[in-house]
Amino acid sequence: MYTLNCRGALLVLDQPVVMGIINLTPDSFFSGSRKEQVSAVLAKAEQMIREGATLLDIGAQSTRPGSNYLTAAEEWARLEPVLPVLLEKFPSCFFSIDTFHARVAEQAAAMGIHMVNDISAGLLDPAMLAVVAAAGLPFIAMHMKGTPQTMQSLAQYTDLITKLTDYFLERVNSCKAAGIKDIILDPGFGFAKTISHNFQLLRALDQLQLLGHPLLVGLSRKSMITKTLGVPAEAALNGTTVLNTLAVLKGASILRVHDVKEAMEVIKLVKTDH
């Protein structure tokens, strides 16, 4: 069991929880997750919370392979109108900000966000770890190589799990040295990894539990599903549910998903004592 201190509110991970994805991006890979208007964002958030989401992850920059890069100012311009409304309307929900810009994380923290989710684990912006530590927030550190624009060309490993373990050991040490208390690890499915790497990682996911931090898994409607099954992202819910089931069995503490209801059903079915 893990406990995360989120601005004084404790998030207890005694069983897996669901993090709903809310994208404020016009170019997200899954069109059903794009919510640019405040009213649409509120409706989506309300639905996800009603269906059982413990956390909502708010992002304004697409990080799919080859996506367009936004500056911190451009990213914040998308977030600024939405974050205060979400935080005010849903005070019992935990919100994370999905960004690799330290300035965006700092501004979101000042508004009251509960957690920072960085695809680069603090490597794309050297100020990030200090910002998160100063705010006293939990930090989600993901594994990636390069940037979203270059990562797929860097998907080469001699021993994937050993590389991830070494990466996380170094990142955890850097986070702790900066003063970050609560660290969540995301192995980064689809980030600088081939389809084969993704399945290899899923099979060995339980090995990463040895690092002693909660694991966040983001498999929702990703290419390891769509390319393997030959379906578009819109038809990848069943495949997502299958892989989320395997991830929970392998020790995932947080499922980051577009479809909350189905992910909650996974957790209930896997974790119910009969």
Active site members: 222, 256
Query: What radius of gyration do the chain's Cα atoms show?
Result: 17
- Tokens 């309307």 locate to 89
Q: DSSP letters of 180-242?
A: ---EEEE--TTSS--HHHHHHHHHTGGGGGGGSS-BEE--TT-HHHHHHHT--GGG-HHHHHH
Contact (CB, 8 A) for 35 and 23: yes
- Rounded Cα distance, 214 and 140, in Å: 9
259, HSE (Cβ side, Cα atoms, 13 Å): 22
3-state secondary structure (DSSP) of residue 19: strand
Contact (CB, 8 A) for 80 and 109: no
Residue 226 tokens read as: 């769509």
Contact (CB, 8 A) for 12 and 221: no
